């Protein structure tokens, strides 16, 4: 599933193609994907709006439109966005089409149809209001790990306020926005901390390593245009980061640092990859960690 680097790549590649263009009309054969407002209202309200910017929040694409509108797109597992000429071939997995005023089309292809769209509104202060307009759309999301204002001190404060194990915590969008299975595993490996280590039990040097590792791996993945491990495609094609992953999906293959075989366990129903030599669990945490894994497996 696309994470922060993949959605960031989609946003960066769509930006020059969409900014300044106007949405002439919208059509869909899968109206259930529209979260807000109703599908008819969505189509009526989006027509005539100019795209002012294309950005990202957490794992969502956020397009600012004229008239204080915001088109939010959650690509989920298999969503792919392309800007094409109208005569480009359409396959049965293209479910949403935005016709642009100069004839181009923004298409969303989504084989499993888990993607979601919504047309929201900004208030005077610039906040994106959710469907009930009473609270912000992204109110429950944690900070952006690459935001320049997100400091090591902030990360420490968040970690120390939490119970729970690092792998689970890093993937929790209320804790930190945008990190999923791939980059949680990669960051933990780089930081040399065990995925089942408790957040509150980290030493200060480990907290710093994890903070640096997260930002490094996310930045590297953006530079490589994301990991095309499943269905993820950027508007201009496959990413490259899948060729540079050190631990994710490498079960049984040698750890690039020590050569020992990569291990795989299941944490909260998600595959978790780590090196049992480079990522040691403190002696005092072993029993509790084993118990947590067994409970999760039940």
Site residues (CB under 5 A) for Zn ion, limited to 8-47: none
Active-site annotation holds for 216:
no
Q: For residue 58, give the 3-state DSSP assignment.
A: coil
Identify the active-site residue in 15, 192, 270, 280. Answer: 270
User: What is the Cα–Cα distance from 14 to 23, expressed in whole angstroms?
Assistant: 14
Q: Which is nearer to Zn ion, 188 or 275 (CB)?
A: 275
The least distance separating Zn ion from the CB of residue 243, rounded to whole angstroms, comes to 19
| Cβ–Cβ under 8 Å, residues 84 and 104 | yes
For residue 32, the SS3 value is helix
Exactly one of 267, 278, 281, 289 binds Zn ion (CB under 5 A); which one? Answer: 278
Tell me the CA distances in angstroms from 186 to 85, 122, 165, 190, 220, one per residue in order.
38, 35, 16, 6, 11
Piece of 40-48, 142-150, 261-269, 276-284 that binds Zn ion (CB under 5 A): 276-284
- The reply to whether 121 sits near Zn ion by the rule CB under 5 A is no
Residue 266's SS3 state is strand
Dihedral class, residue 44 (left if φ above 0, else alpha if ψ from -120 to 50, else beta)? alpha
Residue pair 128/138 in contact (Cβ under 8 Å)? The answer is yes
68 is annotated as an active-site residue: no
Q: How far is CA 7 from the centre of its chain?
A: 6
Query: 16 an active-site residue?
Result: no
- Asked whether position 253 contacts Zn ion by CB under 5 A, the answer is no
Tokens of 246: 């050190």
Q: Is 275 in the site for Zn ion (CB under 5 A)?
A: yes
Count of chain residues binding Zn ion (CB under 5 A): 6
Q: Minimum distance between the CB of residue 216 and Zn ion, rounded to whole angstroms?
A: 17
Q: Choose which of 7, 169, 255, 281 interacts with Zn ion (CB under 5 A).
A: 255
Quick one: which of 30, 36, 114, 277 contacts Zn ion (CB under 5 A)? 277
Q: Are strands 60-65 and 23-28 parallel, antiparallel or unpaired?
A: unpaired
Among 258, 266, 290, 297, binds Zn ion (CB under 5 A): 258
Please tell me the number of Cα atoms within 13 Å of 287 on its side-chain side: 1
136 is catalytic: no
Q: How far is the CB of 262 from Zn ion (least distance, A)?
A: 8
Contact 146, 219 (CB under 8 A): yes
Pick the binder of Zn ion from 35, 257, 264, 270 (CB under 5 A): 257
CB of 277 to Zn ion, least distance (A): 5
- Which stretches of the chain bind Zn ion, using CB under 5 A? 255, 257-258, 275, 277-278
Instruction: Give the residue numbers marked as catalytic.
Output: 2-3, 59, 270
């Amino acid at each position: 599933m696309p994470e922060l680097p993949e959605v960031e790549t989609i946003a960066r590649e769509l930006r020059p193609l969409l900014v300044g263009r106007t949405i002439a009309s919208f059509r869909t054969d899968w109206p259930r994907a529209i979260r807000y407002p109703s599908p008819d209202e969505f189509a009526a309200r989006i027509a005539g709006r100019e795209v002012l910017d294309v950005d990202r929040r957490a794992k969502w694409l956020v397009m600012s439109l004229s008239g204080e509108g915001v088109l939010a797109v959650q690509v989920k597992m298999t969503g792919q966005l392309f800007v094409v000429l109208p005569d480009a071939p359409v396959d049965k997995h293209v479910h949403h089409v935005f016709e642009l005023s100069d004839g181009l089309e923004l298409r969303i292809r989504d084989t499993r149809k888990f993607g979601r769209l919504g047309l929201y509104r900004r208030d005077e202060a610039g906040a994106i209001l959710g469907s009930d307009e009473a609270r912000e759309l992204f109110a429950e999301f944690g900070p952006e790990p690459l935001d320049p204002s997100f400091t090591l001190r902030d990360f420490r404060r968040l970690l120390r306020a939490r119970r729970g194990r690092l792998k689970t915590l890093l993937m929790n969008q209320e804790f930190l926005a945008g990190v999923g299975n791939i980059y949680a595993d990669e960051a933990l490996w780089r930081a040399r901390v065990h995925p089942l280590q408790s957040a509150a039990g980290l030493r200060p040097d480990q907290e710093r390593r994890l903070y640096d590792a997260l930002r490094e791996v996310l930045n590297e993945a953006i530079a490589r245009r994301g990991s095309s491990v499943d269905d993820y495609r950027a508007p201009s094609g496959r990413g490259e980061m899948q060729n540079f992953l050190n631990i994710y999906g490498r079960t049984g293959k040698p750890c690039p640092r020590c050569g020992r075989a990569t291990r795989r366990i299941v944490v909260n129903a998600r595959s978790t990859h780590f090196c049992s030599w480079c990522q040691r669990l403190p002696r005092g945490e072993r029993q509790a960690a084993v118990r947590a894994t067994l409970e999760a497996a039940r």
